[in-house]
Homo-oligomer: A and B are copies of this chain.
Amino acid sequence: MANSKFEYVKNFEQPDKLLPNTWVVVRIDGRGFTKFSTKYGFEKPNDKRALDLMNAAARAVVSELPDITIAYGVSDEYSFVFHKTCALFERRSSKIVSTVVSTFSAYYVHYWSTYFPETPLSPPLPSFDGRAVCYPSVQNLRDYMSWRQADCHINNLYNTTFWALIQQGGIEALEAEKMLKGTLAADKNEILWSKFNINYNNESEIYKKGSVIFRDYELVQPGTHNTATEVDKQAQPIQQSKNQVDKERKLRGKAQIVVEHLDIIKDDFWDQRPWLLSNKPGKGKALKET
């Protein structure tokens, strides 16, 4: 059986390499998670177990793909940032996106029973879709991250108020929606405080800020570096000796991958962690105690 006469079909595959020297963000979203969260009785407005499961799956993705420099998650979405020098899969978009989505989905299902021990999964199973977007400059990347965290804040304040009105205020969903229409942040804070004695600032950080995942090293004094400028200037992957590459891979492998709930909009977060943008492993505390 000659295979050769069919092989021409390989020519229909079209290349999809992402532009070099740009930050690649792969964002994944839960498919039909409104229905899914109802099926498994997720708590409203936030289900701690569901968020912890998202974080555990995302942490596994970051661990398996060392080209990811930082990840940020909120609700049923997660954004994974590949450093602009990343050459994984020759930067082929569908390979990168599908690998992230597949790895995430596998861990989500695998870890499900850890976080929801009493409600086993049954078909249709949870699934996620994803896409890759390129950002040319550090500022673009930071604005992307800020966009997601600002969104987290806006949605969480809304949801916290909405569900307080329903759960504690005994109001119908449609009525609550109408009450909140057109309100500003201050209005919602006021409703929470005056009606339910809730100080929004005291809500859990994981709900207010979302979750950020990265390799952890010793913090750096802000102002001593100008990483963003240096990184923007960099035009192509730095040529390193094989020794140097191996050494950095080892350092990165040893670094602890942490899940935090920090403000990633302000400069401090980035200034104190220059390795996130430079992709050069930091120092010290980061060594895993094994």
Contacts and interface: CB of A to CB of B under 8 A. Distances in A.
Nearest to A94: B131
Contact of A136 (B102, B106, B136): B136
A139 B94 CA distance: 25
A104 B106 CA distance: 9
A113 to B, nearest CB: 11
A31 to B, nearest CB: 7
A235 interface: yes
B127 A99 contact: yes
A238 interface: no
A128 interface: yes
A128 B98 contact: yes
Contacts of A92: 131
Interface in A194-231: 228-229
How many copies of this kind of chain does the complex include?
4
A50 to B, nearest CB: 16
Contacts of A2: 150
Interface stretch (A5-13, A168-176, A247-255, A276-284): A5-13
A7 B7 CA distance: 33
A44 interface: no
A160 to B, nearest CB: 15
A201 B181 CA distance: 60
Contact of A140 (B21, B106, B154): B21
Contacts of A8: 143, 235-236
Interface stretch (A66-74, A118-126, A267-275): A118-126
Interface residues of A, number: 79
Given A95-B131, A121-B110, A129-B98, A150 B232 contact: no
B19 A12 contact: yes
B126 A106 contact: yes
A55 interface: no
Interface of A: 1-3, 5-17, 19-22, 28, 31, 60, 64, 84, 89, 92-95, 97-99, 101-110, 121, 123-140, 143-144, 146-147, 150-151, 153-154, 185, 228-229, 232-236, 265
28 contacts: A1-B150, A1-B153, A1-B185, A3-B147, A3-B151, A6-B144, A8-B143, A9-B135, A12-B133, A12-B140, A12-B144, A14-B133, A19-B19, A19-B136, A28-B98, A31-B102, A94-B94, A94-B132, A97-B98, A98-B129, A106-B109, A106-B127, A107-B125, A109-B109, A110-B125, A140-B236, A143-B235, A229-B229
